[in-house]
């Protein structure tokens, strides 16, 4: 996405009447994601970037109550364009969001603590989650930013182990993205998932499709149905 606006001052970088300004979008989307149970208890979040700016939410705050002036703006080299006036720290998910930006040229990355994701990582005990023959697979994209998957494709999402500190997931996520170059997301066991897209609408749409697929898969497995292949 082309750089948003031509702000010259720190507050102008996040202050805009345009509802599609990334600083406004992050606040709105966090409220939506809160209603879905994806970012409750201050966990989870979303980052959006354009050609020049990376927009990051503050850490450890109620994500559904963030205001645009609370948003951090970084450069692609990870230095800061602006920090909020209030004493806030940037999200601990920042290095994970940068994995999506650096390795997939994503335009947005979402981190959820969805219970569907957590349950799937408990029921799929190995290194990957797999599902086929579901219409919503068509909402997913190769590598998150490529062409749409077909109904005939099997969706494969790598699972990495959780770490006590969010930042320490960075290496595991990077390795999983290298090992699974077509995967549009990475699941984190007992924690949630990271998912990205070429822009925020694609990331949001894929997050909704994947969450749906994870919920269906968990229900299928709980009643003894396989999620891959057609039942014989």
Ligand X SMILES: CSC[C@@H](O)[C@@H](O)C(=O)COP(=O)(O)O
Q: In what order do the strands lie in the sheet with 185-188?
A: 80-82, 72-74, 54-56, 45-49, 108-112, 192-197, 185-188, 155-160, 128-131
**Residues touching ligand X: how many (CB under 6 A)?**
12
- Least gap, CB of 82 to Zn ion (angstroms): 24
Tell me if 187 sits within 8 A of 129, measured CB to CB.
Answer: yes
27 labeled part of a ligand binding site: no
Identify the H or E element spanning 156.
Answer: strand 155-160
The piece of 20-28, 86-94, 125-133, 147-155 that touches ligand X (CB under 6 A) is 86-94
| Chain residue at closest Cβ approach to ligand X | 59
Nearest approach, Cβ of 131 to ligand X (angstroms)? 24
Among 42, 115, 134, 163, binds ligand X (CB under 6 A): 42
Task: Return d(Cα 196, Cα 210) in angstroms, integer.
Answer: 11
Residue with tokens 């697929």: 213
Query: For residues 8-47, which are near Zn ion according to CB under 5 A?
Result: 43
User: Exposure of 45 by Cβ count < 10 A (0-12 exposed, 13-18 middle, 19+ buried)?
Assistant: buried
Catalytic status, residue 215 = no
Per residue in 144-172, is it b (16+ CB within 10 Å) or e — as a string? Answer: bbeeebeeeeebebbbbebeeebeebbeb
45 belongs to the binding site for ligand X (CB under 6 A): yes
Q: Which residues within the stretch 173-232 sit at the binding site for ligand X (CB under 6 A)?
A: none
Among 22, 44, 84, 172, binds ligand X (CB under 6 A): 44
Q: Considering only residues 52, 60, 86, 219, which one is a binding residue for ligand X as defined by CB under 6 A?
A: 60
> By C-beta, is 14 or 188 nearer to Zn ion?
188
| CA atoms of 26 and 184, how far apart (whole Å) | 21
**Residue (of 196, 218, 113) closest to 162 by Cα position:** 113
Nearest to 132 by CA among 214, 229, 200: 229
The catalytic residue among 135, 167, 171, 228 is: 135
Q: CA dist 178 to 10, 104, 172, 193, Å?
A: 36, 10, 10, 17
21 is in an annotated binding site: no
Which residue from 10, 15, 16, 59 is in contact with ligand X, where contact means CB under 6 A? 59
92 near ligand X, judged by CB under 6 A: yes
Known binding residues for substrate are: 93
Known binding residues are: 93, 111, 113, 191
Known binding residues for Zn(2+) are: 111, 113, 191
Q: Summarize as ranges the residues that interact with Zn ion (CB under 5 A).
A: 43
Q: Which residues are catalytic?
A: 135
Q: Summarize as ranges the residues that interact with ligand X (CB under 6 A).
A: 41-45, 59-60, 91-93, 111, 166
């Amino acid at each position: 996405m082309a750089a948003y606006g031509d702000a010259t001052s720190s507050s102008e970088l996040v202050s805009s009447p345009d509802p599609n300004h990334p600083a406004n979008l992050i606040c709105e989307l966090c409220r939506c994601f809160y209603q879905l149970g994806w970012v409750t208890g201050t966990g989870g979040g979303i980052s959006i970037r354009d050609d020049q700016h990376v927009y990051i939410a503050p850490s450890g705050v109620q994500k559904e109550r963030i205001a645009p002036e609370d948003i951090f703006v970084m450069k692609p080299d990870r230095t800061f364009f602006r920090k909020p006036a209030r004493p806030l720290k940037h999200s601990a998910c920042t290095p994970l969001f940068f994995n999506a930006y650096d390795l997939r040229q994503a335009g947005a990355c979402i981190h959820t603590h969805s219970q569907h994701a957590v349950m799937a990582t408990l029921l799929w005990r190995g290194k990957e989650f797999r599902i086929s023959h579901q219409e919503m697979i068509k909402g997913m994209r190769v590598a998150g930013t490529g062409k749409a998957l077909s109904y005939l494709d099997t969706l494969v999402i790598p699972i990495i182990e959780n770490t006590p500190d969010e930042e320490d997931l960075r290496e595991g996520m990077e390795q999983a993205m290298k090992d699974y170059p077509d995967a549009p997301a990475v699941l984190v066991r007992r924690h949630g998932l990271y998912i990205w897209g070429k822009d925020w609408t694609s990331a949001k749409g894929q997050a909704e499709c994947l969450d749906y697929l994870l919920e269906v898969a968990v229900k299928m497995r709980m009643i003894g149905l396989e999620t891959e292949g057609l039942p014989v």
